[in-house]
Structure 1
């Protein structure tokens, strides 16, 4: 009995410490601090008033150029922190929005998500900021969005940089089973910090982990601990369906501006891969092959390869990634 009492006492003392290490954020990431001041763009879209959070970071010594950073599905404007620092130090003004449905932006209960719609929202933000032309850089899902933006607004896209973009293969056409939005929703409701961390370790960082990566795990997991969990999961489900059903790879040949692919070759991202047959799983998300194959489809393309990096090279190895990014932005081809 004494041992049992001591065990219960220790558990009661440890529990608050564990709980304190697990932050709880609101459905719009309330409580999570961004590295730069957050501003809000108010827009009317699909008969409702919405807000897009965004960062607008000036360079200490401006070079007159603008870079727009488009985040991935499990990312936010804040995860561009290192890239914003590198770009502004080199003279670029940086605009980094949170797309509708993500992070600190509105999460509507009803919204027809499409890459065209998100691109139009982004263009409206740039128009409001009186930015007529920019280099557009998209990571992960943001690569699909950046491609769609460039296809819709070629005159506004000085050049395109795609960092481990998803959608370099058509998972549905290859045989990955379709999930309904309701099925995605039930799956997203089960999101946990442990699951996020394991996925990120395996996919984003090539099996490696450093303590500074934990912040991005908790950024995502914290929204699933709060009262807005269902709201967050529903928007995540809607955008998962958008990604799975709206490929852009068939239109890469129409991109007439310079396009730089920056590929961490240890990446193995493929939406819905967990539901695919075992034989198919092994074929999906092979970025060491997808990068060169995609390059052949681009009229004005070049490929930067990181053989030892995963899905997020800008976070995993900024000392390798950012010199290559700055070179790509400044080189004519």
Structure 2
């Protein structure tokens, strides 16, 4: 009986122990000053919305440059650093790789006041390409970066040679199912986040309950922000970008994309914003990437679809070989 009680007790407390904040979590300021990216970071000065801001970016030029470029756009819970392995593989093939941190993310400025739109972020990104002298590039967007990459391709078709969407969010219109929440509500929700809640979300939503040590870094960055005096402004920017995602869908414009397009979809993914705000029956209809990938391919003229069975929201982290092969093949075409 004692052993049985001990086992039952451990079944209850072990998940909590596993998600307890590790000692190595350290506070990180708003611009991640003490966090090192895999390649040198530069900054573009922007004067937008009546304020001076800095946009961080990596611009990695290979020794064997093949005169082709690719720009990598990060997701909402990430920054340019998580593209490190992708940058290494693509530069080895001769591609120049440009990786911006959008305003409000990573090492870029976190303004106290900003009207976020995918058009504004796309315009900032075009200004970066102009600054570094890149006139044509392939554009790869992951998660929220997929929505931005879509908007960029629609706004700048003359710049976008190819478009690659890796498990993008926004393949469905969330506001049709999720009740509206104010920016203040999102802000208060962000302020409640901790190492445990961030890891729990990623564990369940991204990795289907299977954790690897390599995933720790992406939790630790977000958790480090929660430990900083700068967290209120980081949380405020996060709230503003939630509102952008919900109120500015791109799903209705896929039909207007003109460039060659590849969808790389981990079919286990069930990511959809606002799931906790809907009923179980509605939740079961959201984020079905095994269906959404096929539906989106049918909407984008001439697009190609590569499905990766058993893989979730981050193919380039969870199953890099299965991600990089179709990407490299598509870029060579």
Query: Common fold, TM-score beyond 0.5?
Result: yes
Q: Establish whether residue 145 from structure 1 lines up as the match of residue 148 from structure 2.
A: yes
- Pick one of 53, 56, 60 that aligns with 1:57: 60
Structure 2: 5+ residue stretches without partners: 1-20
- Pick one of 21, 36, 40 that aligns with 2:39: 36
- Pick one of 194, 197, 213 that aligns with 2:196: 194
Give the aligned partner of residue 46 of structure 1.
49
Q: Residue 162 of structure 2 aligns to a residue in which SS?
A: strand
Give the aligned partner of residue 16 of structure 2.
none
The structure 1 segments of at least 4 consecutive aligned residues displaced by more than 2 Å after TM superposition are none
**5 Å matches for 1:89-238?**
89-173=92-176, 175-238=177-240
Q: What CA distance in whole angstroms lies between the structure 1 residues aligned with 2:155 and 2:307? A: 28
Q: What CA distance in whole angstroms lies between the structure 2 residues aligned with 1:308 and 1:287? A: 11
Give the aligned partner of residue 263 of structure 2.
261
Structure 1: 5+ residue stretches without partners: 1-17
The structural deviation recorded for 1:132 is: 0.5
CA contact (8 A) 1:101 1:108 kept: yes
Q: Residue 304 of structure 1 aligns to a residue in which SS?
A: strand
Q: Residue 299 of structure 2 aligns to a residue in which SS?
A: coil
CA contact (8 A) 1:58 1:94 kept: yes
Give the aligned partner of residue 281 of structure 1.
283
Q: Residue 125 of structure 1 aligns to a residue in which SS?
A: helix
The structural deviation recorded for 1:271 is: 0.8
- Pick one of 307, 312, 330 that aligns with 2:332: 330
- Closer/same/farther in 2, CA of residues 78 and 170 from structure 1, 3 Å limit: same
Q: What CA distance in whole angstroms lies between the structure 1 residues aligned with 2:97 and 2:223? A: 27
- Pick one of 301, 316, 319 that aligns with 1:317: 319
Q: What CA distance in whole angstroms lies between the structure 2 residues aligned with 1:71 and 1:19? A: 26
Cα offsets for 1:284-325 (capped at 9, x unmatched): 000000000111001120001001100000000112211121
Q: What CA distance in whole angstroms lies between the structure 1 residues aligned with 2:265 and 2:210? A: 17
Cα offsets for 1:90-120 (capped at 9, x unmatched): 1100000000011110011111100000000
- Give the aligned CA root-mean-square deviation in angstroms: 1.2
Structure 1 range deviating more: 316-325 or 99-108: 316-325
Q: What CA distance in whole angstroms lies between the structure 2 residues aligned with 1:206 and 1:68? A: 29
- Pick one of 77, 85, 89 that aligns with 2:88: 85
Give the aligned partner of residue 247 of structure 1.
249
**Structure 2 length normalisation: TM-score?**
0.92
The structural deviation recorded for 1:206 is: 3.1
Q: Residue 43 of structure 1 aligns to a residue in which SS?
A: strand
Q: Residue 217 of structure 1 aligns to a residue in which SS?
A: helix
The structural deviation recorded for 1:60 is: 2.6
Q: Residue 200 of structure 2 aligns to a residue in which SS?
A: helix
Q: Residue 305 of structure 2 aligns to a residue in which SS?
A: strand
Q: What CA distance in whole angstroms lies between the structure 2 residues aligned with 1:137 and 1:153? A: 14
The structural deviation recorded for 1:19 is: 6.3
Q: What CA distance in whole angstroms lies between the structure 1 residues aligned with 2:233 and 2:152? A: 27
Q: Residue 120 of structure 1 aligns to a residue in which SS?
A: helix
CA contact (8 A) 1:203 1:266 kept: no
CA contact (8 A) 1:206 1:308 kept: no
- Closer/same/farther in 2, CA of residues 19 and 315 from structure 1, 3 Å limit: closer
The structural deviation recorded for 1:201 is: 1.8
Give the aligned partner of residue 7 of structure 1.
none
